[in-house]
Amino acid sequence: MKKKLTANLGLKILAVLISVVIWFIVVNINDPVDKTVFRNVPVEILNADVITNEGKVYEVLDGSDTIDVTVLAKRSILDALGKENIIATADMQELNFMDTMVRIKLSTNKYNDKLESIKSSSESLKVNIEDLKKQQFVIASMTTGEPADGYILGNIGSDQNLISVSGPESIISTIDSAAVLVDVTGLSQDVRTDASVRLYDAEGNLIENKNIRKSLDRVKVNVEILQTKRVPLAFASMGVPADGYALTGEIESNPSTVLIAGKSSTIKNISQIEVPDTELNVTGQNKDMLTVVEIKNYLPDGVSFADSKFDGKAKVTVHIEKEVTDEITLEQRNISIINLPEGSVGELEDTDEKITLTVSGLKENMEALQGAQITAVIDVTGFMESGGMTELMPGMYHMPVTVQLPDGVRPDQDMTMKVVIKKQESHNNNEE
């Protein structure tokens, strides 16, 4: 029996080896070992609170929290694995604050024990640890673009005006301001919109960093759009210049018009900006009066200046000139007695046919006297009213004479003449 078992022993051992090899070949042909690379696998950071509890923050450097993972396993295992099955972790508890590297551990959430190997493109997570800094900023409201023609930007503001930011001290220290930016291009009416809060450095460069934590990301912004209109300035003066001087009637201002802005319903009825005469008191002036007027004090409610470069002031000149004096002749036949009481007649007692008057006025107004026929009137009713008289008895009265002169010319003294008042004779008496 023993001889039978040991007979051809070498051949028998060779047959077994060949069978094993054939089995191994068959198995590997049917389910061979292969490898697959899973790219951009995120690294999960564990126990980050061990850093934040110390009042510090960490920053992942060089994008080391995203890795490529190579898995070596049988084809059947690899076919059943996806990127979501790869687990990459970095435990901050293993980090010493003097270190900058945290070991990355790899595994899968299924078939982990059937893997031939699993390797990462990077074995460590690179971090930078800094003190945590917190700071508050006022949210400024800014715009880009220009409203439609004939409109300007009014008030702009957000529902919330403060933002808190926190993060690595080296980053937070570079922040100089916070703002929202709204595009107003072509707008002709108010708008309410949602805008993101942006952070800027001292040079106005935008700061974007995923390690910055903001108390809010977006706010509601209200933008006011105002209509514009150009209107003239209107001036008046008060008082009387010095003796021998008169107003020319010309008041100049620089600027003479202003561009105003307001709601359409407010400015549609505004035709000019009126400045009261109290601003231009010419009393006792013997030359042009120069002054500066704060026009902004006389803007209607709800109206503002549309030109941001205009300071709201106007330089005003009230023109004053020296008067000239001349003598004119008034003929009695050109003096009319008017408004006589019923039943009365009046006539001049003076015998001189011509009366000489001294008059004064600006040169250009006095020129209108050349060749003009000067007339005058005596208003009897006006005389009675000024004297409180209800009845005018026959007799002689000194009554004022109103000389009718061109505009801007006046007599240097008041003038009176003797007027004889008589009862009007009836037709019956005349017949008798």
Sign, Cα dihedral of 284, 290, 296, 298 = positive
Same fold, 31-122 and 325-428: yes
Show the low-confidence residues of the chain (pLDDT under 50): 27, 429-432
Dihedral class, residue 28 (left if φ above 0, else alpha if ψ from -120 to 50, else beta): alpha
Nearest to 210 by CA among 268, 261, 162, 167: 167
Q: Give the pLDDT confidence score for residue 369 in this predicted structure.
A: 86
* Alpha helix segments (H runs only) across 261-386: 264-267, 363-366, 380-386
Q: Give the pLDDT confidence score for residue 31 in this predicted structure.
A: 85
Q: Give the pLDDT confidence score for residue 355 in this predicted structure.
A: 87
Nearest to 403 by CA among 370, 356, 339: 356
In angstroms, what CA-CA distances link 314 with 230, 260, 273, 361? 15, 14, 12, 30
Nearest to 422 by CA among 321, 340, 346, 322: 346
Phi, psi for residue 5 in degrees, rounded to 5: -70, -35
Q: Where are the domains of the chain?
A: 31-122, 131-227, 236-322, 325-428
CA angle 92, 93, 97 (to 5 degrees): 75
In angstroms, what CA-CA distances link 277 with 239, 283, 316, 408? 9, 12, 12, 20
Dihedral class, residue 167 (left if φ above 0, else alpha if ψ from -120 to 50, else beta): left
Q: Give the pLDDT confidence score for residue 426 in this predicted structure.
A: 65
User: Which tokens hold the place of 205?
Assistant: 């460069």
**Contact (Cβ atoms closer than 8 angstroms) between residue 221 and residue 192:** yes
In angstroms, what CA-CA distances link 230 with 136, 149, 252, 257? 43, 13, 17, 7
What architecture (CATH level 2) is domain 325-428? Beta Complex (2.170)
**Contact (Cβ atoms closer than 8 angstroms) between residue 256 and residue 216:** no
CATH of domain 131-227: 2.170.120.40
In angstroms, what CA-CA distances link 273 with 146, 254, 294, 332? 27, 14, 12, 49
Per CATH, domain 236-322 is 2.60.120.920: no
3-state secondary structure of 264: helix
In angstroms, what CA-CA distances link 292 with 35, 162, 235, 347? 88, 41, 12, 55
Phi, psi for residue 28 in degrees, rounded to 5: -70, -30
Percent of the chain's residues with pLDDT above 90: 72
CATH class of the domain at 31-122: mainly beta
**Contact (Cβ atoms closer than 8 angstroms) between residue 220 and residue 192:** yes
State how far the Cα of 90 lies from the Cα of 124, in Å rounded to an integer. Answer: 8
Q: Give the pLDDT confidence score for residue 373 in this predicted structure.
A: 86
pTM over 0.75: no
